[in-house]
Amino acid sequence: MKSFEELGLSERTLNVLKLKGFEQPTPIQEKAIPAMLAGNKDIVGQAQTGTGKTAAFGLPIIEMLPENSHSVQALVLTPTRELAIQVAEEINSLKGNKKLTVVPIYGGQAIGLQLRSLRKGVDIVVGTPGRVLDHIKRKTLRLEQVSFLVLDEADEMLNMGFLEDVKTIIEKTSPEKKTLLFSATMPSEILRIAKKYMGEYELLKVSPGQLTVSQTDQIYFEVAPGDKFEALCRIIDIEEEFFGLVFCRTKVDVDNIAKHLISRGYDADALHGDISQNMREQILGKLKKREINILVATDVAARGIDVQNLTHVINYALPQDPEAYVHRIGRTGRAGKNGIAITFITSSEYRKLQYIKQKAKTDIRKAKLPKVKDVIKAKRQRIKAQIQEIKTTNLQSEYLEISRELLENQMPEEILAALLQHTFGSELSEKSYTAIEETVVDKKGKTRLFVAQGSRTGLSRDKLIKMIKDKCGIPERIIRDVKILDNFSFISLPFNEAEKVLSFFNRHKKGSGLIITKANQDNTRKNQDKTRKNKAYPRKKRR
């Protein structure tokens, strides 16, 4: 790995980095900084939160902008208000004593304050697409002299519906500018934006292996869907100090889990796309102050959150892809500190977990959930430690007097036990926890297959099963979920047997008379449309 001195940065910038305690560049910084300083091409960079991407684009911009220009020279677009503030603060801290003005503009802040800042003259604007577009329409933000345009968290701007706003903003900027697009994932729409709106660009991709945080201990538990909440509670309770994020797939799940955690007495809250910006700020403020220690969130809502010293990231639901997994777990185990990433998987998700492990080039080890007796033991030890930490010096005479009076008629251990029970309630009761059934994951997994024939062409359940049994040597007992429809059919097989069937029918397409492929949304939807059409316009019977 290179040092910052080898990346072409000035002495003044290197001094700022030393004061901030930066020792070595991250992979995205090592790639992006020299490429930007060379200034030959636009840049598309794959980078997630926590990889130092703000410094990756911020340092070269600071290096190359002149001082006291009194016009907007760089525009950074971010999907959320939270991220806009964070990026602006980071760039401010990196510029040292260089005379550059950095201002965040976003919805929810008084527009009068933003207008005054823009009138004074701003060098770098960091803003959300909606508010930036608002200022453009008011003619209070002019972008004709912009030298740099940064699209930060581009995939999230796409997910949050900002695509048209972003396109409009790009068209208002100088054609001579350099454009930098950073995204945690690279969906096709992002690359289409790059091809349409950017000049010749360089793709800087940090591989998932590089993205994974080495200080993070990665664990998975095999859990039935109905046992996930109980498993979550055990993990929280066995830890001496839990401070983490719990990721769910949907807003409904986020609300339900947060509500159940709060009802059990945990300091928790929820964050998703339906939460207002004002409420979002309040929730994140509570998290940073540790007024809550558990935040349940969706992926989109969690983008831009930068909270230090998280001990855990819990994947309550398995993420959709390896990039999302890496993005989630990168929030713990930062700055040389250890972190723990825990993933719950159900019996049908084993193959998907293996795919994530392979693509992210990371080790996710299997573990067993804590038993109730172990959780209770950990709680007992914490209670004893808390009691032992209580100072017995400078006791007030009133309390000493009450103590002596109580001890005249009762045993000391009974008095102490009563106080402990009153204070901690049912904390040490095993009845507070419900049983979790041990789940055995099918390591082979199951594959759904699509057959491009149905009952209209004479295919029946028995005929399909017999053909697969005879041609591929597959036992009938493992051919499951056979569904014969008008124009197409489905079957499910264990992974290895499914591969055998696909291989055979791919080699003998003409001889077998059947086309069999893996089921997916495209072939299902196409044939569903065909079925609907046939039902709407049935063939006329021949006379």
140-164: per-residue pLDDT in tens? 999 999 999 999 988 888 877 888 8
In a shared domain, residues 48 and 115 = yes
Residue 169 has pLDDT above 50, yes or no: yes
Q: Which residue has the higher pLDDT, 391 or 473?
A: 473
Where b means 16+ CB within 10 Å and e means fewer, 364-398 reads beeeebbebeebbeebeebeeeeeeeeeeeeeeee
Q: Residue 459 and residue 467: Cα distance in Å, rounded?
A: 11
In tens, the pLDDT along 296-350 reads: 998 877 866 778 789 999 999 988 777 778 888 888 876 556 789 999 998 778 8
Query: Sign of dihedral through CA atoms 395, 399, 405, 409?
Result: negative
What pLDDT score does 34 carry?
A: 94
Q: Locate all alpha helices (DSSP H) within 448-515, ordered by sequence.
A: 461-472, 495-507, 509-512
Domain-ending residue, one of 372, 404, 431: 372
* Cα angle: 199, vertex 203, 205; to 5 degrees: 160
Q: Which long-range contacts (CB under 8 A, 24 or more apart) does 208-211 make?
A: 208/322, 208/323, 208/326, 208/359, 208/360, 208/361, 208/362, 209/360, 209/361, 209/362, 210/27, 211/27, 211/47, 211/48, 211/51, 211/323, 211/326, 211/327, 211/330, 211/360
In a shared domain, residues 56 and 165 = yes
CATH number at residue 124: 3.40.50.300
How much is the pTM? 0.51
Residue 1 has pLDDT above 80, yes or no: no
Least confident piece of the model among 208-217, 290-299, 504-513: 208-217
Domain-ending residue, one of 356, 372, 388: 372
In a shared domain, residues 194 and 273 = no
> 156, 303 in Cβ contact below 8 A?
yes
Residue 65 lies in a domain: yes
In tens, the pLDDT along 424-446 reads: 887 888 888 888 866 555 555 67
Eight-class DSSP state of 445: -
What pLDDT score does 273 carry?
A: 78
Q: Residue 25 and residue 17: Cα distance in Å, rounded?
A: 10
Q: Residue 392 and residue 380: Cα distance in Å, rounded?
A: 21
Residue 225 lies in a domain: yes
Task: Sort 500 into a burial class: Cβ within 10 Å, 0-12 / 13-18 / 19+.
Answer: middle
In a shared domain, residues 259 and 315 = yes
What pLDDT score does 295 carry?
A: 96
> 423, 417 in Cβ contact below 8 A?
no
Task: Print the domain residue range for 360.
Answer: 214-372
Residue 543 lies in a domain: no
Residues with Cβ within 8 Å of 75's Cβ and at least 6 positions away in sequence, in order, are 124, 125, 126, 127, 132, 143, 146, 148, 149, 150, 169, 173
In a shared domain, residues 194 and 218 = no
Q: Which long-range contacts (CB under 8 A, 24 or more apart) does 374-377 make?
A: 374/238, 375/234, 375/237, 375/238, 375/433, 376/428, 376/430
Residue 490 lies in a domain: yes
What pLDDT score does 351 carry?
A: 76
Residue % of the chain over a pLDDT of 70: 88
What pLDDT score does 376 carry?
A: 92
Report how many domains make up the chain: 3
HSE at residue 389, side-chain half, CA atoms within 13 A, is 6
Per-residue pLDDT averaged across 252-264, rounded? 93
In a shared domain, residues 492 and 522 = yes
Q: Locate all alpha helices (DSSP H) within 330-390, ordered by sequence.
A: 350-360, 372-389
Q: Residue 64 and residue 60: Cα distance in Å, rounded?
A: 6
Residue 413 lies in a domain: no
How far is residue 328 from each of residues 237, 312, 317, 360, measured CA to CA in Å? 22, 10, 12, 12
In a shared domain, residues 355 and 310 = yes
In tens, the pLDDT along 51-74 reads: 678 899 999 999 999 987 878 999
| Amino acid sitting at position 230 | E
- Average per-residue pLDDT in the chain? 84
Domain-ending residue, one of 206, 237, 262: 206
In a shared domain, residues 143 and 226 = no
> 111, 140 in Cβ contact below 8 A?
no
Residue % of the chain over a pLDDT of 90: 35
Residue 43 lies in a domain: yes
Eight-class DSSP state of 474: -
Residue 416 lies in a domain: no
> 481, 490 in Cβ contact below 8 A?
yes
In a shared domain, residues 220 and 134 = no
**The two structure tokens encoding residue 162:** 């900002």
Residue 404 lies in a domain: no
What pLDDT score does 432 carry?
A: 81
> 169, 129 in Cβ contact below 8 A?
yes
Least confident piece of the model among 17-21, 63-67, 259-263, 448-452: 17-21
In a shared domain, residues 58 and 188 = yes
In a shared domain, residues 261 and 294 = yes
| Amino acid sitting at position 29 | Q
Query: Sign of dihedral through CA atoms 265, 230, 234, 243?
Result: negative
Q: Which residue has the higher pLDDT, 541 or 193?
A: 193
Pairing mode, if any, of strands 294-297 and 102-105? unpaired
What pLDDT score does 134 carry?
A: 93
**What pLDDT band is residue 534 in, cutting at 50, 70 and 90?**
very low
Measured between its terminal Cα atoms, the distance across the chain in Å is 80
CATH number at residue 487: 3.30.70.330
How many residues are given for the chain?
Answer: 543
Residue 235 has pLDDT above 70, yes or no: yes
In a shared domain, residues 29 and 102 = yes
**What pLDDT band is residue 537 in, cutting at 50, 70 and 90?**
very low
